Amino acid sequence: MSILLVSLLFGLCACGNENGAAAGGQDSPAPQEAVADTQEPETAGKEEETIENEEPAQGNTEQESAVAGTEAAAVTQAAAGDTAAAADTTSVETAESSAPGSNALAVYFSRVGNTDFPDDVDADSSASIRVDENGLMGNAGQIAAWIADEAGCETMEILTEETYPVNYNETVDQAKQEQNVGFRPMLKADEKAVEDYDTIYLVFPNWWGDLPMSVYSFLDSHDLSGKTVNVFVTHEGSRFSGTVGTIQELEPGAEVLEGLAVQGANVTDEEQNIRQWVIDHRN
C-alpha cells in the first residue's frame, strides 16, 4: 500500500511541472543505492524510512541506467576538479558577526538559489519554486525563512560556485554523479560567521537519500563543536534518510537534533508545525 501511495505522490508532484523542480516524481532517485556508495546504509527499523526504502523498487531501472552511462564523466570531472576541494574557509574572516542578542542562524541549501533560472521561469506550475518579494524561493529557503522568523535570527544560504542545470533531470543526474564520487562542490564565501553562533538550524533537500554534496562541503569547512544543530529536511517521500546520523558523524562535537522532515509538495501546509517546533525547542 505504501508503495502505491508514494508512487502516486511522486506522480502528482511531477505533474504539470515543466521545470520538474517540484519533486522526485518518477525521477526520484534510488536512495538505498546512493547511500551504499558513500556511507553506512540507513538506520533500519524507523517507520518513516520504510516509505523511502520501498520506493526504489518501483522502477528506478531507467534512472539507474542513465546514471551509469554518465558515471565515467563524473569520475573525470572529480579528478579534474579535485574531489577534496572544500568550501572557502577564508569567508570566516570576512563574514558578518552575529546580530547582538541573536545566537542562532538558519543555514540552508536549495536547488532554487543554486540554479540560474530564467526570469520567466514558470513558478506557478512548480511546487518547489515560489516567488516572494525577494524573488524565487525554494522549499528549503521557505522553511529557513519561517524558522528564522520564529527564532528571531537571520538566514544564510549555502551557495555553490558552479550553478546546477536548469533542467531538473540533468540536476538529478549530476547530483548522483557527485554522490558516486564523493565530490565536494566549491562554495561561495559564507555571508555569516558561522562559528559565532550557538545554534544552527540546517535546512536542505533530500538528494538521493542523502545530504546534497554542497552540505558536505559546508560541514567539511566548519567545526560545529559545542553548537546545537537542528536538522530540517525537505523531501518528496524519503524524509530524513540517514542524514541526521551522518551530520552527527561529521560533527561529533555538536549536539545534532532531528527537526522536521517536510514534504516539498506540502510545504505551505507545514508553516505552523515548523514555527511550533522552533518555539518548543528554542532556549
Binding region for ligand FMN (CB under 6 A): 23-24, 28-29, 31, 110-112, 128, 138-140, 171-172, 175, 205-209, 234-238, 264
Max Cα-Cα span within the chain: 53
Helix, strand, coil shares, percent, the chain, to 5? 45, 15, 35
Distances 127 to 96, 199, 240, 267 between C-alpha atoms, Å:
33, 29, 20, 9
Q: What gap in Å lies between CA 123 and CA 234, rounded to an integer? A: 18
The number of residues making up the chain comes to 283
The C-alpha cell 554518465 sits at 70
The C-alpha cell 545566537 sits at 103
**Comparison of 106 and 140: residue with beta carbon closer to ligand FMN:** 140
Give the nearest distance from C-beta 252 to ligand FMN in angstroms.
25
Tell me 44's DSSP state: T
**Comparison of 98 and 144: residue with beta carbon closer to ligand FMN:** 144
Give the nearest distance from C-beta 19 to ligand FMN in angstroms.
10
Give the nearest distance from C-beta 226 to ligand FMN in angstroms.
28
**Comparison of 118 and 252: residue with beta carbon closer to ligand FMN:** 118
Give the nearest distance from C-beta 206 to ligand FMN in angstroms.
4
**Comparison of 49 and 236: residue with beta carbon closer to ligand FMN:** 236
Give me the residue whose beta carbon is nearest to ligand FMN.
264
Question: Which distant-in-sequence residues (6+ apart) come within 8 Å of 193 by Cβ?
Answer: 92, 95, 96, 97, 98
Give the nearest distance from C-beta 196 to ligand FMN in angstroms.
25
**Comparison of 53 and 128: residue with beta carbon closer to ligand FMN:** 128
